[in-house]
Amino acid sequence: MMVKAFASSADLTEKTATLEVLADGVYALTAEGDPNVGAVEGEDFLVAFEARATPAAAHDWLSLLRQHTDKPVKYLVLSHYHAVRVLGAAAFDAEVIIAHDNTRRLIAERGEQDWASEFGRMPRLFKQPETIPGLTWPDVVFSDRVSIDLGGDRGELTLQHCGRGHTAGDIVAWLPQQRIMFAGDLVEAQAALYTGDAFHREWSTTTLDRVKAFGAETLIGGRGGVTCGRTAVNQAIEQTRSFLNTMLDEVGAVHARSGTLREAFEATHKALAPQFGAWPIFEHCLPFDVSRVWDELDGIDWPRIWTAERDREVWDELQGE
Ligand SMILES: [Zn+2]
């Protein structure tokens, strides 16, 4: 049996980033399964969605965006607290950084550990890590919904918390006029789910129901390509739900018969691999995902903190020989 390299530590091939103009003043940057980012133009300002892992990585995105607009970034929206989404914030020089209040809580509680954990798991995403000035702190937090008036006839951008899901503090960004949604890691298109900090039962039911109820015509998930058309958007949402439900079923069955975590991992891997095995970060995520489902079934509501050490322990227990 081949020994699997830890998480994505052996994934060193640079991905091609593609900037797409989804509507007048609405931009998405996708990168073959690496984390997506976006931006929306107001009359005289920009709203950026997600910050990438380092200021150097964010700068690469901003230089592509600057071929289309030179408006200043007034708002930087963080969909959730994960290091690869927030630590590049300094590059945007944003007036206001906005996030959910649970995101601020998670940064305070585990931002340092998450930084070390994600750096170890996905070193390639941390381009010039020395450019990170420290943790990213939101200036404004909210618990349910806020709207940003984009000015002129551009309509508004709504930031909405749909319940707990990928983390306790995910938010989506919604353009009602263009029916475009930036869903963060709540929905993935053609990429495996990371659920190590998730609330699987809530995410797979009420949270995804609320995401779906927007009726988006275009959806940018956390990773993978842009999804276009209502049917394809609903398929991406249902595929995400099916990934979660399969994990809950498989881990649940082993948990119910008092089996081991390793057995739960093997059963889940077997069930998911035919459909999802070739997708980006599948092998990387699954041990952490199964571990968190197991905890949730044990009644641990608030996810345990991932540290670089705990990452290795769980990896060796589940992906080791
Ligand atoms: Zn995430």
d(CA 17, CA 71): 22
Task: Report how far apart, in Å, the C-alpha atoms of 299 and of each of 236, 250, 255, 293, 320 are.
Answer: 29, 17, 12, 10, 27
The reported pLDDT for the residue numbered 6 is 83
Q: How many A from CA of 115 to the centre of ligand 1?
A: 12
- Residue pair 51/76 in contact (Cβ under 8 Å)? The answer is yes
The reported pLDDT for the residue numbered 15 is 85
Question: What is the identity of the amino acid at 29?
Answer: L
d(CA 86, CA 64): 19
- Residue pair 287/264 in contact (Cβ under 8 Å)? The answer is no
d(CA 46, CA 303): 34
The reported pLDDT for the residue numbered 11 is 78
Q: How many A from CA of 41 to the centre of ligand 1?
A: 24
Q: How many A from CA of 1 to the centre of ligand 1?
A: 30
Q: How many A from CA of 185 to the centre of ligand 1?
A: 5
Q: How many A from CA of 27 to the centre of ligand 1?
A: 20
The reported pLDDT for the residue numbered 3 is 63
Could you list which residues have their CB under 5 Å from ion ligand 1?
A: 82, 185
Q: How many A from CA of 121 to the centre of ligand 1?
A: 13
Q: How many A from CA of 232 to the centre of ligand 1?
A: 22
**Tens-digit pLDDT profile for the chain (321 aa)?**
456 788 787 777 888 889 999 999 999 999 888 899 999 999 999 999 999 999 999 999 999 999 999 999 999 999 999 999 999 999 999 999 999 999 999 999 999 999 999 999 999 999 999 999 999 999 999 999 999 999 999 999 999 999 999 999 999 999 999 999 999 999 998 889 999 999 999 999 999 999 999 999 999 999 999 999 999 999 999 999 999 999 999 999 999 999 999 999 999 999 999 999 988 889 999 999 999 999 999 999 999 999 999 999 999 999 887
d(CA 116, CA 277): 26
**∠ CA 300-223-164 to the nearest 5 degrees?**
30
pTM of full prediction above 0.85: yes
Tokens of 120: 């170890």
Give exposure, 285-313, as e/b (b: 16+ Cβ within 10 Å): bbbbbbbbbbbbbeeeeebeebbeebbee
Q: Whose CA is closest to 240, among 224, 229, 253? A: 224
Tokens of 194: 């990371």
DSSP secondary structure code for residue 204 in this structure: I
Q: How many A from CA of 151 to the centre of ligand 1?
A: 31
Block residue for tokens 């390299």: 5
| Region for residue 301 given its phi and psi (left: phi exceeds 0; alpha: psi -120 to 50; beta: otherwise) | alpha
Q: How many A from CA of 198 to the centre of ligand 1?
A: 9
- Residue pair 186/219 in contact (Cβ under 8 Å)? The answer is no
Question: What is the identity of the amino acid at 226?
Answer: V
